Amino acid sequence: SSPPSPPCKPIDFKALHLARMERNKFKARNIKIKDGFEFIVVEKSGLGIGSLVWDAGEALSRYLVDRCSKGSSENGADDSELKGKRVLELGSGVGIAGTCAAMLGARVTLTDKKELVDLLRRTANENKKRLAFPMHVQELEWGSCNCLFHHADNQASSSSSSESFTGSKPEPNSWGKEEKNAKSTPVQEEACFDLILGADILYVPEDSLRLLLREIQAQSTAKTRTILAFKYRKGYLDFFRCDGIIAIIIIIIIIIIIIA
């Protein structure tokens, strides 16, 4: 006969509840790019892959600091090539790359889907005393192709209002719905950004990649640079060669490839 089964252990509902509570906590994480250059991002598990820091975000932040900071001040902002530049981060997640750009003196707009907007506002608030310009947070789905004005341009850098850093609550752009009459031509120069950032946002299905290219075009002029950082995944470079030719003509795309 088979040996008797071990007795079932009673379910520890208290432990399960505590584990669930722990998963639902917002956690401030210190990001140190180099000595004297640190900032905070806020993470929260349970909100999907966008609510955590990934390797490409850290790599892109190091790239920005190494390329744009001349190291004349404690955080590099006083003598940075990004000082005063208008920067848009697409698919910000926790906002690591955008916050790094803001630390370098840029006027930054962080964007992502609705469920991550609160997380981005928390990251913006955690760093508000470190920044020359407040970061603006806005809900955005790729493919809406609506012009994003840099709302922080008209805000005083010395403002202490939390609304300056969390941003107002504008009407969200149409979520993933392509407008029949949406124009793919660049919008007016003053409404666009000098630099567009994206970190680890190329894991998405092929249809979303097309929406991403359309969104980049909509927020760009001929002078806009776009920097995308991602882990190499089969087929992505072929996609940009075949389907990204129009976007590559309009803007300069610098791709940082992190070997898995």
Alpha-carbon distance of 158 to 142, in angstroms, equals 32
pLDDT of 84: 93
What value, to the nearest 5°, has the Cα angle with vertex 111 and ends 40 and 92?
A: 50
Decide: 85 and 110 in contact? Cβ < 8 Å: no
- Lookup: tokens for 221: 């002029």
Give a yes or no: residue 107 inside a domain: yes
How does strand 27-34 pair with strand 37-43?
Answer: antiparallel
Give a yes or no: residue 69 inside a domain: yes
Give a yes or no: residue 26 inside a domain: no
Give a yes or no: residue 171 inside a domain: yes
Q: Render pLDDT for 157-203 as a digit per residue (tens, 0 to 9).
A: 333 333 333 333 444 443 233 333 334 333 344 558 999 999 988 76
Q: Render pLDDT for 110-168 as a digit per residue (tens, 0 to 9).
A: 999 999 999 999 999 999 999 999 999 999 988 776 666 554 444 433 333 333 333 33
Give a yes or no: residue 32 inside a domain: no
CATH code for the domain in which residue 47 is found = 3.40.50.150
Q: pTM of the predicted model, to two decimals?
A: 0.71
Please tell me the total count of domains within the chain: 1
Give a yes or no: residue 14 inside a domain: no
Give a yes or no: residue 66 inside a domain: yes
- Lookup: tokens for 183: 């124009």
Can you give the residue range of the structural domain that contains 220? Answer: 37-258
Alpha-carbon distance of 95 to 101, in angstroms, equals 10
